Structure 1
Amino acid sequence: MQFTPYLSFAGQCAEAMRFYGEIFGATPQMQTFASVPPGGDMPPLPAEMQDWIMHADLRLPNGASLMGADMPPQFGGEPQSGVSIALTLPAETAEATFERLASGGTVRMPFGATFFSAGFGMCKDRFGTSWMVITA
């Protein structure tokens, strides 16, 4: 069994997934709502939401995946809350990755040594995703 985080956005999914792709070294695959074939069972969306991302998949070189979508309010979309993505990285890359994720966001706990790890930090990135970065 494998758990895959699936992130919810409100119009920023494409930008967020490209950002994560730059950080983690992968290219996201994305499909917009405009690409849904006509006559399907998808409720109609306003024109301004047609370019929103219906599904995005960022497959990382190590086999892990991060998924997400823009969630229109009429589909019951809710912003991300109450969940953090825990990311374990080698000591030589953990702090730099944390700093990139935190750039433009909010640092909740600065990256530094703790009683349980040589490096740990918590942040919410500029897209609303909460991260916990820890050294291996």
Structure 2
Amino acid sequence: MALTTTTHLNFRGDARQALEFYQSVFGGHLTVVAYGDFGMPKELPDADKVVFGQVSAENGFSIAAYDAPSQSPAAPAPTATTRENGMTLTGERVFVAVGGDTAEEISALWDKLSADAEIVEKFGPSAFSPGFGMLTDQFGVTWVLQVNAAHAG
């Protein structure tokens, strides 16, 4: 049996912009379906929000997202992720991790993804990888980018 795992991100009205940004970083095919496309009356406030969105690329990258309906409980206040004394400190439950074969390919993704991001740990060589970095993007999603250990060395 083969399994596929796709990270699914939950937004509060900016899923479309986030997905468009992720497509500009990782490439691939963008799918966006609004609540109104599924029959919600167009005059309702959430009709133009994303009920299903996904970016899928031939290189294996895949991420899904939607806009939580406005009547959903409020999201908890974001907690900043920081690095102190060699430790990652966070209150977040999820990071999105992306690994690749070479420092060059991951560095190129880092350069795009880091636009307007808060850098947690600058991309560069680490004790366990020739390329590792961590950032929180302009949409509040924390990403870990690294050269896969199997390809290091």
**Sequence identity (%):** 27
Distance in 2 between residues matched to 1:33 and 1:3, nearest whole Å: 24
- SS of 2:110's equivalent? helix
| C-alpha contact 2:46 2:70 (8 A) present in aligned 1 | no
TM-score, scaled relative to structure 1: 0.85
Which sections of structure 2, spanning at least 5 residues, go unmatched? 79-91, 149-153
Report the aligned-residue RMSD: 2.2
Distance in 1 between residues matched to 2:75 and 2:96, nearest whole Å: 17
Q: Which moved further from structure 2: 71-80 or 119-128?
A: 71-80
| C-alpha contact 1:120 1:133 (8 A) present in aligned 2 | yes
Distance in 2 between residues matched to 1:86 and 1:107, nearest whole Å: 15
How far apart are 1:74 and its partner, in Å?
Answer: 1.4
How far apart are 1:15 and its partner, in Å?
Answer: 0.8
1:47-126 map, 5 Å: 47-76=44-73, 78=75, 81-89=92-100, 90-126=102-138
Distance in 2 between residues matched to 1:11 and 1:108, nearest whole Å: 25
Question: Which deviations, in whole Å up to 9, do the C-alpha atoms of 1:30-74 show, x marking residues without a partner?
Answer: 110111226xxxxx8973322110010211113442101011241
- SS of 1:49's equivalent? coil
1:27-46 map, 5 Å: 27-37=29-39
| C-alpha contact 1:71 1:78 (8 A) present in aligned 2 | no
Cα distance change, pair 77–65 in 1 and its aligned pair in 2 (3 A): farther
| C-alpha contact 2:135 2:144 (8 A) present in aligned 1 | yes
Which sections of structure 1, spanning at least 5 residues, go unmatched? 39-43
Q: Which moved further from structure 2: 12-21 or 81-90?
A: 81-90
Distance in 1 between residues matched to 2:110 and 2:22, nearest whole Å: 12
